[in-house]
Structure 1
Amino acid sequence: MVLLNRSVLLVNEVTDVMKEKGWSLELDEKAISDACDGITDWQEKEKARQKAIRAEIKRFRANQDAAEAILRKRKASMPPSTVTKFCTDTDLRKVLDGIELDPQVHDIPGLSFFRLRLSSARHPPDLQGTSVAGADHNILVFYVGPYRPGFPAPGFYLVYDAWANSLSAIHQLPYLGGGSIGSEVAVLRHAPASDYILAELLLTGELPKASLWTWCSSGPSARQWIHKTVILPPEVCTPTYIFHADTTFSLGKFALCWVDLLVGILMTCDTLAPEPVFQFIPLPEGCYMEPPDPQDGRQVPQEYRSMCCGNDGIIRFISIDGYHQDLSINDMRNMFLRTWSLTLNPKEWKQEAALCIGDL
């Protein structure tokens, strides 16, 4: 087990070589300005300026190509990469070929993280905002670039299989309006170990209807986004509050859970069913928190609450009571750490522990 930083560090290896060689990473504004000196006619001056800009762009790209060639030569002298790459999209394949995932793993309490190494000058210009989007067992998924479901921006999904040591690039969802119900992609790993399902749940303007998009790595509908219209339970789309998933996780072979840490769990027991049925499971009694006024903004319950499904198949919920009540951080006597476990048949929460933070 590791603690993983969701933020991904981008390392542009081409830029690093250019810096190493002392080559400029920007257009030479002085060269452009010098090309216009002494020209008084504004039209001729603009022509000279544009010509100088084109020359600078050509010089810059030549340096990029030279740096990329140096990088290729260096990599050719190293042991070949053992990572297998998959992509059915021609354009994404070119991007994937210039990407290497560099995991930096540290023992707890150290924080592990990923670096995305870019070895091509032709990668998309905007990959900032890359982050871990979801995980299940050996399958780890990234949002690459600023793209998020329902937000039209450059980017794609990158799937890392730690067991198979493989990378797969997946194109983003078609933009049909609406926004994601949360900030993560739901991931369901199933047998065999490298088979997986990605699921994105998007709200529409026609509640309680929502859009469920799934991507399967294998099977008759593999490697394409499949859309289904689903009906959400009334508890997650009330007149005063719209459910927001703070975290997602899988349960068993086919179930997925979206969790709003203020109110409860949105679950579908069979993600691949022709018409997936969603149900709502409220938080333990006394843990429901009154939804905030939209004008005040939503709280960040991840600071004092968490939920997950363990290897034993049991859903567990943990909360620090008192943390959200604006108490002094030094007043630990009024803060209690409580844990619950959930049985699904029947659906009942059982409190497992209650500890005063001040006694720990």
Structure 2
Amino acid sequence: MITAYKKNDMTSFKIKVVGVGGAGGNIVQKIYLSGLGCETIILNTDSQAISRHRAHHLITIGKTVTRGGGAGADPDLGKKAAEESIHEILLKIQNADLLILVAGLGNGTGSGASPVIAKYAREKNILTVGVFTLPFEAEGKKDVAFKAIAEMEKYLNTMGIIDNNVISELVSMESSVKDAFDLVDRVVKNCVESIISIVQETSDVNVDFNDLKSLISRGGLGYFAKGIAEKPEDVDKAIESVVFNPLLTGVTISDVKGALINIKSNGELTMNHFREILDKIRAHLPEKAPIKYGLQKEGDHRVDSYAEIYLIGTTGKRTTDEVIDKITSKQTNWKNFEIPPGVRKHKK
């Protein structure tokens, strides 16, 4: 079933994106610089690292327990730092309608502080989504990451997990380390942008905040994707970017129990391509999974592309063991996944 929803309510919702630790801070800085229309907050135990970041709010947490020197690889220290600074954190997030936590898991601050923030957000009834990256196998920190995931699964409405280990399957080993990590950052940023696009603006045909709340409150793992067609002949490529998201671990589009889609365009999108987008995405979803879509019929002067497609979906509530099993199953499909030239691994 595909449903269109037209919204008359022009109420704006407060969306706050919080980067926790070094990796989370790097990604949230890029979100801040891109001007996505959300409030950005970066938290870190390392005062020197946070001084190099840019966001609406920068907070050094745990100044007493870490003295600004970071949490190292100790999640207990990261937890204590967040607990020490929880009142300052709550002052920044307490009036959020939607909170998005972004962190790299495996080290002290991201793994230790993120569950504390998720717990307090749940107690304040803030709708909260997590987008996290997993460490490389060689780091030996997967257990720390999975412990943090198991803890946050109790508090978050849904979460998306990106596995750094999949990079080696996608990119050329001759590509620079910067290019490889930029790819991961781009995937995380696209996940956040997909969520924000659903409620950020009012269009001719809209999904609204309550649609988003209903969807992600189902729990489980989240599926977030973005595809861009610069011109009409790129539509198939954009659709494939939405239905195949290889770095998003433990979930494929066929796992979701419902989805929200937002389509933006420069005003030139044809009815034929509009139907093609919906029909091809529908074909990859479970038969009974409902879809709601948003559409700007007359185009958006801020959009240069022929079409931009954003999709979010969730798997529905699962036990912690089921969530961890899904994440470790490495369900991936990188068919036609968009990677910049010179970075993609060449197939033999």
Question: TM-score, length-normalised on structure 2?
Answer: 0.29
Choose between structure 1 and 2: higher strand proportion. 1
Question: Higher RCO, 1 or 2 (CA under 8 Å, sep at least 6)?
Answer: 2
Choose between structure 1 and 2: higher helix proportion. 2
Q: Which has the larger radius of gyration?
A: 1
Question: TM-score, length-normalised on structure 1?
Answer: 0.29
